[in-house]
Amino acid sequence: MSSLHFLFNMIWNNKLTEILHGNYQIPANFVNLTFIIFRLEGIITMLINGKYYHSIWPDENDKGKIMVIDQQKLPFFFKTKELCSVEDVYNAISDMTVRGAPLIGAAGAFGIYLATLEITHNTSIGSHLGNAASYLVSCRPTAVNLSWAVNYSLKKLSGITDPDLLSETALGTALEICQTEIDNCRKIGDHGLKIIMEISEKKRGKPVNILTHCNAGWLACIDFGTVTSPVYSAHEKGIPVHIWVDETRPKNQGARLTAWELGTQGVPFTLIADNAGGHLMQKGMVDLVFVGCDRATRKGDIANKIGTYLKAIAAFDNNIPFYSLMPSTSIDFELYDGLKEIVVEERDQDEITSVSGFADGEIRAVRICPENVKAGNWGFDITPAKLVTGLITEKGVCKADEKSIKKLFSDKFK
């Protein structure tokens, strides 16, 4: 039996809780395996109120439930939410209960798993799964991880007709994707740490000031994060770091999520207005810019949260290194020109005309402009490769150009 099948059987037979609490005897030949979905050493890294969490996981007591951290409630309330159907997954991605490119990819894969639970002997499997896949992929168009994960799941299920085997395989695939993204983030952290260490040495131990935009932390990536992974590693090693956290309008993922993450991990940070970054760079108060990525092209253009492009321009003008941190699952090797080929999501104008906050014990939205104002709400922008110092991936750091990317990922180029 493989390590993956062993774990799947444990989940299938409601043994995961016993594993997590040390009440189940793990077979000796599995204890030291490094590739096991929930690592038996340390299992999960992010500790919230004394409990370890990923940002998505299967309910070990109910095969029909996928659990997520409700990111709409943070930082004011820490709540989990059950996803029990394809529709639940679609809505959770759409309303940003779950968000972040790697996480919505994993959620999409779990959505395919939930779709398999609806299959009966009278179901046309191909049509049913194809419809579920198309529906999920249509939810948010910019991040490539969603379509990649859904299509990867379909490929794994191809040719399987037994409903139980379909569900077991789909769950296994979703968990495999989760672990792949966790491992990717861990490696991104290792490579990004070297850059932080180099700057720290040049500054003779003074804090390395890193500016970031939006949230590319463990909430967005299941564990570790992309941008936050090297930050957490540096902090753990005693390397002084300080993070400038953009508020990131209109949904304020920086103010609400990145600030919460860094605070829970004890990393020093300062929250700033989105438009303050250029001023800080001019004053020599930023050493490095780290941003995430929702979709990159094979020549190094990157789509990321709206406002990223302006940070890149300011960094370029002030000779400050600007890196995009991403797993290879966020690179669309089929695309070349980001401005022409990446679809930029447009979201509801209410996100612009109102702001959500905490008052009187509850989360409220208040209007911030006159009534009947027309607003534009583009969720992402495209930063051209010429403004990007480098890409930090699980395979290493490379320049943002086709030749360098191909050197790291030669197997992805046709």
- Catalytic center residues: 294
Strand, helix or coil for residue 410: helix
CB 93 within 8 A of CB 146: yes
Residue 13 is classified by DSSP as: T
Q: How many whole angstroms separate alpha carbon 300 and alpha carbon 385?
A: 5
Q: How many whole angstroms separate alpha carbon 23 and alpha carbon 176?
A: 24
CB 375 within 8 A of CB 352: yes
Q: How many whole angstroms separate alpha carbon 391 and alpha carbon 402?
A: 11
CA dihedral for 289, 295, 297, 302, sign (positive or negative): negative
Pairing label, strands 295-297, 302-305 = antiparallel
CA dihedral for 296, 300, 306, 311, sign (positive or negative): positive
Q: How many whole angstroms separate alpha carbon 60 and alpha carbon 55?
A: 15
Helices 144-157 and 163-202, axial angle in degrees (round to 10): 140
Residue 39 is classified by DSSP as: B
CB 103 within 8 A of CB 97: no
What strands lie across the sheet with 396-398, from one edge to the other?
Answer: 269-272, 241-246, 208-212, 288-291, 322-325, 390-393, 396-398
Strand, helix or coil for residue 195: helix
Q: How many whole angstroms separate alpha carbon 304 and alpha carbon 302?
A: 6
Burial class (CB in 10 A: 0-12, 13-18, 19+), 326: buried
Concatenated DSSP letters of 216-284: -SHHHHSSS-SSHHHHHHHHHTT--EEEEEE--TTTTHIIIIIHHHHHHHT--EEEE-GGGHHHHHHTT
Residue 6's identity, in one-letter code, is F
CB 67 within 8 A of CB 73: no
